[in-house]
Chain A
């Protein structure tokens, strides 16, 4: 097969689509993924979405009907950490995501094309699938000085974000930078960095903060969208409740030690070796909403507190400024499980995070269960 046969033209694409309207399930089977493995995958994502196991067949059924939807992955002021997280995904693997489940039409870190050809691929998807493609954004968007602090192909990140996120069915902001500006937005925010929702207010945005995002949460969000045809229920910070509905502290495997007043005092001491609570060495778990304790990382191998280091609070907006210094303990977290006062923590070091509690759990009524529509997008 020569290059002419291989390169996609608009006609090829349309004909290809006409010829083969494969569902994700069918494609997986064609790729040699057994029905059993497919169902296993469906169970895993169902669990990640915090849905009851009885939903798994429904997920499988729905995925069977979904055709490989186009997805573009934009990198702005990023470190590619979220891309690397994607490479570590296991349920499904990145190979399955890229080859079988989605049509990843643009991703600078993995795509074969470069330069103008790469940009042409992006343009094509944005034009041909206007309002229908999914967008993933990694990295913050610099707003200062006309966007000069970030350009690709001579275009500013802001212009690209307006065009690509503005025309997407939904945009998933992966990582804390794309969600809220992240590290680049830390004081004094030299480049005026913000998250996607602030840069493109009209876009439909789902925030998946974390530094980096947990790939399982990304997969689950995409599958949720494919299966239910709408974005998951979000909290006041735009985060899916299925992944950010509970405090780390409340799900933490070391919580009994907190309640018992057993703390790590020095690195490598007896308490550290025995898995005691890390609160005194700076753990921000009591002020952080994320499913790290249950979902963990790298195929559930571990997570920061599990390994012996305090939680840094990386999924909270502005955590870089509100949660530091990293090894300073949160003020006013009472010991011995006096639950109601635990919610008062954050006054002081974690002032921003404390503000988060006030709105957390109150669903954004506008967003809840709302299907993306033209009104919610910027044209």
Chain B
């Protein structure tokens, strides 16, 4: 047996460390640890609730809109504010393009290199690559000349001897299965996606002033005025630019991302049986219409039973700190609902520099959230599963299309490959739907509705002395909830339970593993010095914290150092 540590796990946001025990080429146990703490929830106490979105937005600069959305929804819930339909639609468009852009970046720039061996692309035949590309999509950039150009660039980069961010990777690992032509095609699209993402996200600049960290959110609505007769407001010119960019986004998803995803997945079908995890799925639902009805439904699926979707009750969310570097006044073994949540750091881990963590005790800065005492996986897979099982028609069609093309059944979804596939499905659904919300917005404006904000409760003098609220949002990475208690116009308590808290959670009081930990159990590791397989499963969750995975021997005495060969 060996214990593996990969620290840092790269191509994620944040600081995450994974320790795993490997026995006979297979992971038998795993521990997920976040190694960074800032304490923003503590810093929020006593501040103006209307500012909270601006602070919480800084939880994450990758999913850069999501905490703003959850925060303003929490405050609006507490103060019983109903926002105008245009504000709802503008938020939906902002959320929509965030989802689409984020998923594409994840697939190509954070996850693809787990499946695509860039070095193999050097050996590809550009003409055969062109043929392959044309066989799966009518995307115009598919000539042999085009792929030859990409290959030449790559060749001269490698010949320079300075590989920058591509140095020291697991290239040549036996788990890479794609033929050179597929590797070249994916590498070309890696570069195209890099260009594409900065263009389509200009929608955030138009509606939100900038990206990352858009700045037009307001409790009660949005700060982007609407007036077709003004150059300082959302007018026809800007709406048409958004329309053009949404089209560009959808085209890339339909013609590049989804075909690539299916092509790559077809070589890795064995990963449809690996990385299943806790088997419980939670989605808060999202994209409300003017009446508050959600386009993506909310619900939970337990024990992979897709025959029923369980309705949610926010009171059943609780966070445990038995294996986290915090203390709760509730004492050991008891969770706290986020309204009563605490964030009191109490580090008891090793003093840095250290080799490994004491995983029998407390070992992470991440708390262990549980729904009805169960560990839940959140993210695109949970969202798509809940939608699929709720009979949402767009989700049903897209899931069946993907499963059909790969020739697998719904059980394949409960896996590393299923998670990666579901992200593509989620992206496709949202890319197709966002233009619908834009058209609704244009329709409202055409009718003369320019309202963007519910002004009547802007002044804190009009608020009750005390108010509690919560705001839910389906972020690209999954179920996100903010809980707020307001007293005397100030924040009394604020807690965020974020997607990666659910997924990266350590064990709870009962010893139940979190989703990363559970998914790693059973994952094969061909070479403990190059644990590519760990990256595949961990990246399939799209972690939003910095990671570290280590391999240690059975006695825990010796860390197998992964060294440069």
Contacts and interface: CB of A to CB of B under 8 A. Distances in A.
Contacts of A16: 159-162
B230 A267 contact: no
Contact of A325 (B35, B47, B167): B47
Nearest to B171: A3
B257 to A, nearest CB: 17
A309 B172 contact: no
Interface string A53-97: 000000000000000101000011111111111011110011100
A305 to B, nearest CB: 8
Interface in B7-23: 7-15
Contacts of A12: 161
Given A7-B168, A145-B347, A301-B206, A154 B355 contact: yes
A113 to B, nearest CB: 4
B352 A154 contact: yes
Most chain B Cβ neighbours within 10 Å, of A3, A75, A83: A3
A124 B8 CA distance: 16
Nearest to A81: B61
A109 B220 contact: no
A173 interface: no
Interface string B188-215: 0001001101100110111111111101
Contacts of A118: 8, 10, 168
Given A77-B36, A87-B197, A273 B11 contact: no
Helix, strand, loop or mixed for chain B's interface? loop
A13 to B, nearest CB: 6
Given A190-B39, A267-B218, A302 B206 contact: yes
A81 to B, nearest CB: 2
A267 B47 contact: no
A70 B191 CA distance: 21
A308 B90 CA distance: 14
A77 B38 contact: yes
Contacts of A273: 225-227, 230, 232-233, 450
B166 interface: yes
B11 A114 contact: yes
Most chain A Cβ neighbours within 10 Å, of B153, B165, B171, B232: B165
Given A120-B563, A154-B353, A302-B209, A8 B458 contact: no
A108 interface: yes
A154 to B, nearest CB: 4
A193 B43 CA distance: 12
B324 to A, nearest CB: 14
B550 to A, nearest CB: 7
A248 to B, nearest CB: 13
B232 A153 contact: no
B233 A212 contact: no
A156 B165 contact: no
A91 B308 CA distance: 51
A311 to B, nearest CB: 9
Nearest to B453: A267
Contacts of A146: 351-352
A139 to B, nearest CB: 9
A21 to B, nearest CB: 10
A272 B122 CA distance: 55
Contacts of B204: 298
B163 interface: yes
Interface string A188-199: 111101000000
A88 B201 contact: yes
Contacts of B206: 301-302, 307
B198 A93 contact: yes
Contact of A113 (B167, B215, B561): B167
Contact of B48 (A79, A87, A187, A324): A324
A104 B164 contact: yes
A4 B164 CA distance: 16
B182 interface: no
Interface in A255-304: 266-268, 272-275, 296-299, 301-304
A357 B310 CA distance: 58
Nearest to B191: A95
A339 to B, nearest CB: 25
B58 A183 contact: yes
A104 B55 CA distance: 30
A-B CB proximity, top 10 nearest: A16-B161, A81-B61, A3-B172, A275-B232, A190-B39, A115-B6, A112-B169, A307-B209, A297-B210, A267-B453
Given A6-B172, A149-B365, A190-B42, 8 more contacts: A82-B61, A98-B164, A103-B164, A116-B561, A149-B36, A149-B345, A212-B212, A267-B218
Interface of A: 1-9, 12-13, 15-17, 19-20, 22, 27, 30-32, 68, 70, 75-85, 87-90, 93-95, 98-99, 102-121, 124, 140, 142, 145-156, 159, 182-184, 186-191, 193, 211-212, 266-268, 272-275, 296-299, 301-309, 312, 320, 324-328
Interface of B: 5-15, 35-40, 42-43, 47-48, 50-51, 54-55, 58-62, 64, 105, 109-110, 113, 118-119, 122-123, 149, 153, 156-173, 191, 194-195, 197-198, 201-202, 204-213, 215-216, 218, 220-221, 223-227, 230-233, 345, 347, 349, 351-356, 365, 450-453, 455, 458, 531, 535, 546, 548-550, 561-565
10 contacts: A13-B162, A81-B62, A84-B211, A115-B549, A146-B352, A191-B38, A272-B225, A297-B210, A298-B201, A324-B51
